[in-house]
Amino acid sequence: VSDFDAASRRAVLGLTGSALLAGCGALPSPSPFGGEAETTLDGAAIRSVVAGDGPVVPERIPVEVGTERIEAGRARVRELLAVAPLPLDRSEIPNGAIRAELTDAAERAREDLDAAAAAPSPITALRHLRFARMRAGRVAGGWRYVDEGLRRGDLRDDADRLADDVAAFRAERSYAGAPDGAVRSVLVHATVGKLAGTAAGHATTGGGDRPGEWRSNPVSVGELVGDLERGGAALTDARHVYDRYVGSLDAARDLHARFAAAGADLLDLLADRSGDLPSSDASPAAVVDGLTENSPGGLALEGLLDDVGYRRSLTDPRDEGDVATVVVRAHGRLARVGGAEALVAALREGTRFRPASAADVRSLRKTTLAALEGAVRDAPHPDLAREAAADLAGRVRYADRELARVGDDTAADRLAMDLREYVRVRYVARALPEAGRAVADALRPEPEADGG
Amino acid sequence: MSSPPRDPENVARDPEVLALRNAGPDPIVGVREADGEGRGSDADDREHAQRGLLASPEAAALLEFSGIDGRERERARAFLDGTDYAEATVYADRRRVGECYRLRLCWVIWSESQVRTQYARTYRDWDVACSADRDARTLRLIRIPAALDPGAVSSYGSGVHTRGCVPPRRGGVETGGDTSNGTENASNGTENASDRRPPGGRP
């Protein structure tokens, strides 16, 4: 039982005599309905809790990304940004909204370049560069609309070529890996698979049956150029990571069958475990007596149950039967299932994560960050944990940014939507090591097949 | 005389419509002030006309146009005069739009108690000189092919999409239902590079 549990009990029970605390941040006022009091929190204190940089968990893969790959990405961004005569002025693009859109894309491409330069890991730098290329592509494409008369139809060949290239890459790639390092192998191959999926998803000129007038202007044609640019970059990155990895292996083995079997096992395990969880359609009160929708704990549970319910399939059509990606997705989902189980248990014990003061918010955030750190530190395979923890860190940063905007006196209930992210991250992070062990078990070779 | 069915959704995707635009800040249409004591039905007509719903020639006559040239005023008047109010109702839908954009009407839906419109917003041509910071006014006179009782219509709304027209949903328009002052439901793009939203359950 953590400090925070005690704090939330104080919020419920400690109302009498609370006038003594007035001015110290917590100003509970009795609810007219005789339920839990409406608590007002000191916004300035909360803003100070989230001041500064949020957590970042750099993704890492056991592949050495070539510096020449990163330099090539930067050069490509600069090349694209040189297409349009920036800064654009009125005489070049009289329509101010279109001009503003392209100008903004150029600025953001430069921000992405800066982010790539400051990236904590090469694989993250490549990600920033893909977005930089996408945004710089928007500017270049928008300008080519104006300057050369580039239109959507002109890009169909580029899109088809990209789709063909992705298909060719998928057909020729193997699942070569190190037999004694299957977890590392699956992580690399899932990274490759997701990049190929991104490329495939952008290899289109955007069909759809909606009338097309909104798609024939410099901004939308620029977006298409940017999408194709990003898709092309994703495929190049996929090839790069793949080639580097396979080239680094001493004794490579095709692990396709092992990945496929592990994926199937993990899906079975997930089906079992998810079956024991409450239905995502159940009301919070039906899951935990007295639980309401607007507590951070209730909201976090709702979100997790939604995610692990079968509404979202584990197999994404974009993966195109990518056996490695299935395993890595299952890892993330197992952690969410484990997190949901532990959260249900905590809620049944009466914890609601309702802050009675800014100090409670600080304590919740601190516990969350500790859980996030522990998830990577205690994981049997830290790089696999990082893959999931990077996403969790993003949730914390999101909540931080939202909480940085709270007003001076804010009702505690109004923070529930943001605080639920801390709750969720805390529980999912704690479940990551176990999920990592399950993945490692599933990837262990069958004695008959692989042993001696 | 056609009366609106109880079915909440009657849709016209391509209704008869007259679109007017004023680049300046002035409204295109207003309602004539009452001269003397407004009698009961006159006061009702006036109130309904304020909301844009015109169910009779008398109500339509209350509209006053400004901010558009004489020829367009004549066209507007002719549209109103050419409406058979036994069969149709005119909805005068006023929308602001950024000076660099234009709106296209996607559809109008109506029931006994509500009228909703949906627009698609697109850029005007790139070589049209305009400011990203200024608004224009638009007015659409939309002929709804049903004789509505304006007194029974209590809910009006409008939505704007930036990625083309989206078909109306059953049971209402848009989510939230508070689009009565032209809320933009602009989902402008597929940006997912930054982490401004919580990452959506990446499995």
- Nearest Cα to Cα of residue A170 among A202, A192, A203: A192
Contact status of A144 with chain B (Cβ, < 8 Å): no
Integer CA distances (angstroms), A43 to A29, A161, A358, A398, B118, in order: 17, 54, 8, 17, 39
CA distance A407 to chain B (A): 20
Q: Could you say which residues from 84 to 103 on chain A have a Cβ atom under 8 Å away from some Cβ of chain B?
A: 90, 93-100
The per-residue pLDDT for A277 is 85
SS3 call for A34? coil
The residue with greater pLDDT, A451 or B191, is A451
Mean pLDDT value across chain B: 79
Q: What is the pLDDT of residue A20?
A: 33
Segment B175-184 shows an average pLDDT of 34
Would the ipTM clear 0.95, i.e. be above it?
A: no
Integer Cα distance of A80 and A123 in angstroms? 22
**Pairing mode, if any, of strands B155-161 and B114-123?**
parallel
Residue among A254, A351, A333, A251 nearest A297 (CA): A351
Secondary structure letter of residue B53 according to DSSP: E
- Which of A179-188, A277-286, B66-75, B127-136 has the least mean pLDDT? A277-286
Q: How far is CA A167 from CA A163, A199, A235, A324, B44, in A?
A: 6, 10, 10, 17, 66
Give the pLDDT band of residue B43 (cuts 50, 70, 90): confident
pTM: 0.80
Closest CB to A95 among B120, B126, B165:
B126
Cβ of B127 within 8 Å of Cβ of A218? The answer is no
Structure tokens at A279: 């239905």
d(CA A173, CA A198) in angstroms, rounded, equals 16
Residue A272 main-chain phi, psi, to 5 deg: -60, -55
Structural Rg of chain B based on CA atoms: 19
Cα separation of A328 and A386, whole Å? 11
**Dihedral in degrees, nearest 10, Cα atoms B100, B106, B111, B115:** 0
pLDDT tens per residue, range A106-161: 999 999 999 999 998 999 999 999 999 999 999 999 999 999 999 999 999 999 99
Nearest chain B residue (CA) to A142? B126
| pLDDT tens track for A241-254 | 999 999 999 888 99
* pLDDT tens readout for residues A383-433: 999 999 999 999 999 999 999 999 888 888 889 999 999 999 999 999 999
Q: Report the percentage of chain A scoring pLDDT > 70.
A: 86
Is A307 in CB contact (< 8 Å) with chain B? yes
Q: What residue has token string 């395993």?
A: A327
Q: Is the pLDDT of residue A24 over 50?
A: no
Distance CA A358, CA A256 (A): 51
* Mean pLDDT, rounded, of chain A: 86
- pLDDT tens, residue by residue, A299-326: 999 889 888 875 456 666 556 678 999 9
CA atoms of A369 and A50, how far apart (whole Å): 12
CA B101, CA B123: separation in Å to the nearest integer? 4
User: Which residue in B has a C-alpha nearest to residue A134's C-alpha?
Assistant: B193
pLDDT tens string B138-171? 999 999 999 999 999 999 989 999 888 888 765 5
Residue window 214-233, chain A: list those with CB within 8 Å of chain B: 214-215, 217-219, 223
Dist. CA A55–CA A396, nearest whole Å: 7
At A335 the pLDDT is 96
